[in-house]
Structure 1
Amino acid sequence: MKTFLTAVLICLAMPVFAQEATTASGGTLRVLDKITGRTHDLEFGNGQTQTVGLLAITMTECRYPSGNQSGDAYTLLTIVYNNAADPVFRGWMIASAPALNALDHPRYDVWTLRCSSE
């Protein structure tokens, strides 16, 4: 019975999460250096890598809800610290909920602002 109720709840919730997304040509991220207090807004194209301080940030893709370009941005990022072999972050960041899947780093904060229209 418990499994059945879980399945029903998942099926009811699907339309909420099944929103179509449009891929943009790039996006904007903000980087905060917690030691210096400086922020940097970076414009990316999809697949582009940029460095800020000791971070190398690659934006693989930026998406937004179809029909609502000013809506929520979702970016697929890979962040490497100090040329390490393994990234300190790899995954999707969501503009409206930056703490949902955040970079956990003692010096830097990174969050998604928006997708580009060009």
Structure 2
Amino acid sequence: MTPRRLLLIGVAAAGLAVSGAGVADALLDLPQDAVPVQDPVGDLLRDTNRAPLQGSQSTPPASTAPVQNVSPPTDPTAAPGTPVVVVTPEAEIAAVQEDVPPEAEIEAPKPAAEPAATPGRRQRRPTAVIQAIDKVTAESMRFEVEVGGRPVRFNKTLIFSVRACEISASDEQTEDAIAYLEVGVQPRGIAVPTEARQIFKGWMFASSPGVSGLQHPIYDAWVVGCKA
């Protein structure tokens, strides 16, 4: 085989490799059809269920035996008819407190200052769960979109891309799921494919869909949560 023929074969192989990589990239950029979620609950938000404490024992009931009256002891060396003085524990404590001078009092230790709590960090999840509805046909679907993955098409027109999805930290007052979405409109089946026209770009909040939602005369869409 001549060197010229070898050179031509090498050039052809390199061309096929480059074209194959381009086709693969183009396929990854194409949106895929939305698939309904089978278990929409899943891991949408942080699990707040707590296992009950185990090994706990109930406190035994207090004894209900009757209290017997105890007569004060008598002094055998005292003369008959001499009254016996009974000193109660309260009287002994009061007598000791009177004998202690004020300068001998000990100050109670001051409680140590509590360290400042470290703010929690939000956890990022690889999948966002989205709810979309067609207000004309009343078609509604809950589907998943992978963060940074292939776009997902709803109702042959609406295209969703997710850039981030995270859940609230443990020290936040409200449990929430937040996702950064890019939504575009691109009808499928047209003769000349065109780039999707973007109609939304920004953060959506699962707890407050009306704060930053999709505004479109035909479609409504909002974030339901994030899944691991």
TM-score clears 0.5: yes
User: AA paired with 1:59?
Assistant: V
Q: Paired residue for 2:177, among 64, 67, 73?
A: 73
Higher helix share: 2
Preserved CA contact (<8 Å) 2:164 2:180: yes
Q: Which residue of 2 aligns with 1:107?
A: 218
Question: Does residue 97 of structure 1 match 2:208?
Answer: yes
TM-score norm. by structure 2 comes to 0.40
Q: What does 1:15-94 correspond to in 2, within 5 Å?
A: 20-48=121-149, 49-53=151-155, 54-67=157-170, 71-82=175-186, 86-94=197-205
TM-score by length of 1: 0.75
Cα pair 2:120 2:170 within 8 Å, conserved: no
**CA root-mean-square deviation:** 2.1
CA distance in 1, matches of 2:196, 2:146: 23
From the two aligned structures, give the one with the greater strand fraction: 1
Aligned-residue offset at 1:66? 2.8
Cα distance, 1:67 vs structure 2: 3.9
Other-structure match for 1:13: none
State the distance in 2 between where 1:44 and 1:63 align: 13
Runs (4+) off by over 4 Å = 83-86
Q: Specify whether residues 72 and 35 from structure 1 end up closer, same or farther in structure 2 by C-alpha distance, changes over 3 A only.
A: same
Pick the structure with greater CA Rg.
2
The 3-state SS of whatever aligns with 1:106 is coil
Higher RCO, Cα 8 Å, sep 6+: 1
Q: In the alignment, which residue of structure 1 is the partner of 2:20?
A: none
Structure 2, unaligned stretches of length 5 or more? 1-118, 187-193
Cα distance in 2 for partners of 1:86, 1:93 equals 19
Q: Distance in 1 between matches of 2:133 and 2:166?
A: 23
How many residues are matched?
A: 99
CA distance in 2, matches of 1:85, 1:95: 25
Percent of residue pairs identical? 26
Distance in 2 between residues matched to 1:79 and 1:113, nearest whole Å: 16
